[in-house]
Amino acid sequence: MRNAVRAVLGLTVAVTAVFGSLGAGDHSQNNGAEKRSVSTR
């Protein structure tokens, strides 16, 4: 269970960082960044 919690927290932090860096208004850029972060992992 602890690993699952860590995974969720890690994803939340990553998504928050993506939205913060690109701006919540640009949905297309956010989607691209999310795909890149997933492929990096």
Please spell the DSSP secondary structure of 1-41, one letter per residue: -HHHHHHHHHHHHHHHHHHHHH-TT-HHHHHHHHHHHHHH-
Q: Measured between alpha carbons, how far is residue 7 from residues 1, 3, 4, 13, 16 in Å?
A: 10, 6, 5, 10, 14
Reading the block at residue 14, the tokens are 């990553």
- The predicted model scores a pTM of 0.42
For residue 8, the model assigns a pLDDT of 94
**pLDDT of res. 11:** 93
Asked whether 37 and 18 are in contact (CB, 8 A), the reply is: yes
Write out pLDDT tens, residues 1-41.
889 999 999 999 988 888 777 665 555 555 555 555 555 55
Domain residue ranges of the chain, discontinuous segments joined by +: 2-40
